Amino acid sequence: MYHQTPDAKLYYEVRGSGPLIVLVGAPMDAQSFEPLADVLATDHTVLTTDPRGINRSIVDDRDRDSTPELRADDLARLITHVDAGPAVVLGSSGGAVSTLALVQQRPDLVHTAIAHEPPLSSLLDDRAELRAQSEDIIATHLSGDAFGAGKKFLALANIHLPDEVVEQIFAGDRDEQAIADADFQHAHMFIPTAFWEPDLDALRKARVIVGIGEESGGQLCERTSQALADRLGIEPTRFPGDHIGFVGDPEAFARRLRDVL
């Protein structure tokens, strides 16, 4: 289904019935959450969406940055449109940053926010170095070297994979949409998301849970997530798997999510 906004045509899906859960990624799209959404839909209404400029969500201006504030506004419009809130909102990676921005902008729409591994490099002491590395990754990708950019990105994230796997993930056989999505993410989503400055006072007033994968030890997103939890004065909550544990074992992830809620 599609929902028209002043500057975008947002693709979204709704499944199940019961209390509303919104599953949010960036740059991950709705397809990445399908297994988890199917499990949760047995007792919840589940809303998934492609973030603006990615896959099926079309923006009028592809030269405009996809900021957390814009993505939060999109989420607010979708939650209002389906008229089933306030919602539990689970955001992963860049989607976790979108979720935090939504809490700041429209706390009335969010019952509980779960920020699973938000890549907020802005909160770290070495953010200047991380910013320089991030800009180098973007320049490498946009120069046409997707493999080189992928290797640099994994080094930044402190994720270790064989070169053949990196090649397959970042520079393998991809269709035009996947290439366009990767270009858009690097050019217009990476920096605005990773170096977004959260309003910590606003977030402390809401029910925010910071999630970290049990297998994410030593990775950049464990550092950023712990930094956010420290600033909010809460303990992070561990979820099964790694940065995308909901993909690897959606049933285990759903069980943990239900326990948390």
pLDDT tens-digit series, residues 110-127:
999 999 999 999 999 999
Q: What is the pLDDT of residue 10?
A: 98
Residue 166 has a pLDDT of: 81
Per the structure, how many domains does the chain have?
2
Q: If pLDDT is split at 50, 70 and 90, which confidence band does 182 have?
A: very high
Domain co-membership, 133 together with 149: yes
Q: Is 240 helix (H, G, I), strand (E, B) or coil?
A: coil
Same domain? 17 vs 114: yes
Domain C-terminal end among 138, 172, 188: 188
Computed over every residue of the chain, the mean pLDDT equals 96
- Exposed, middle or buried by CB within 10 Å (0-12, 13-18, 19+), for 169? middle
Task: List pLDDT tens digits, range 205-255.
Answer: 999 999 999 999 999 999 999 999 999 999 999 999 999 999 999 999 999
Residue 237, phi then psi, degrees to nearest 5 = -110, 130
Q: Which domain holds residue 81?
A: 2-122+196-260
CATH of the domain at 221: 3.40.50.1820
**Is the bond into 192 cis (omega within 30 degrees of 0)?**
no
Distances (CA, A) of 193 to 32, 71, 72: 19, 10, 12
Q: Are both 117 and 58 inside the same structural domain?
A: yes
In this structure, the answer to whether residues 164 and 256 fall within a common structural domain is: no
Give the model's confidence band at 165: pLDDT under 50 very low, under 70 low, under 90 confident, else very high: confident
Does 43 share its domain with 12? yes
Q: 150 and 23: one domain?
A: no
